[in-house]
Amino acid sequence: MEKSRVLVIGGTGHIGKHIVAASVRLGHPTSILTREFALSDPVKRQLLNSWVTSGASLLKGDLFDHKSLVKAIKCADVVISAVGPRQVAEQTRIIAAIKEAGNVNRFVPSEFGSDVDRLHTVDPAASLYAVKAKLRRLIEAEGIPHTFVSCNCFAETYLPSIGDVTAIGAGPPASKITVLANGDAKAVFVVEDDIATYTMMAVDDARTLNKILYVRPPANVVSHNELISMWEKKTSRTLQKVHVPEEEILKWIKDISLKPC
């Protein structure tokens, strides 16, 4: 069966680069919407050049340039948005362009986290999830063929610190580790390459049309305590757990949300 033509918006971002790689690897004619700014960034330029070498195409365009967006979308059967949190609300522009182009068989908006219709949280996360939920309703109301991807936690983000959310990017702890509450709450950690592969396998699958794709391997559902235990067994070292009570966690979140961007 002929593979769908894929356009990735936000292809140089954290999950976007994995989606582009998976799309090319699985044989989809793949294009990346590219701004002039990206080409002036040496790291992004190197990444984009590597994709061109592997067979992908670069389409000049911008999320805020409706004409260029429509033109790029007309070259694709599938549009995948991987824009970051600051541009999530701007996906209304993609939806408008898809409606005008009139040729898209599947739209995958930028979610790639928890199922926004089935969670309870507090700000600032609650506001972001509310925006994503509104986008779902708009996509449905406009009759755009879609697949929503719920993949929970990015492994590359959370696992290097062994699940310590206060030390993301710092690597494994040497002796102490921060544990939220009692550490027994379960979470789902999925490697980004796997998320991207499942996403690309879904875009031509009739079973995922207008559905939510849950990427939730049973073996990947673990608590923080279980993660720590696995690391301790692997390293033959015992970590000192510093537990943070729920009240303190909520205070942290409130303090962070009050800080200026």
Q: So which residues are the catalytic ones?
A: 132
Q: How far apart are CA 251 and CA 261, in angstroms?
A: 18
Residue 193 in contact with residue 18, Cβ under 8 Å?
Answer: yes
**Cα 51 to Cα 5, 117, 195, 203, 255, distances in angstroms:** 15, 35, 19, 20, 41
Q: How big is the chain, counted in residues?
A: 261
DSSP for 119-130, please give it.
----TTHHHHHH
Beta strands in the chain (DSSP E): 6-9, 30-34, 57-60, 78-81, 106-108, 147-150, 153-154, 176-180, 186-190, 211-214, 221-223, 240-244
Backbone angles phi, psi at 97, to 5 degrees: -70, -40
Q: What angle do CA 221, 22, 35 make, to 5 degrees?
A: 115
Structure tokens at 63: 């999320």
**Residue 60 per-residue DSSP state:** E
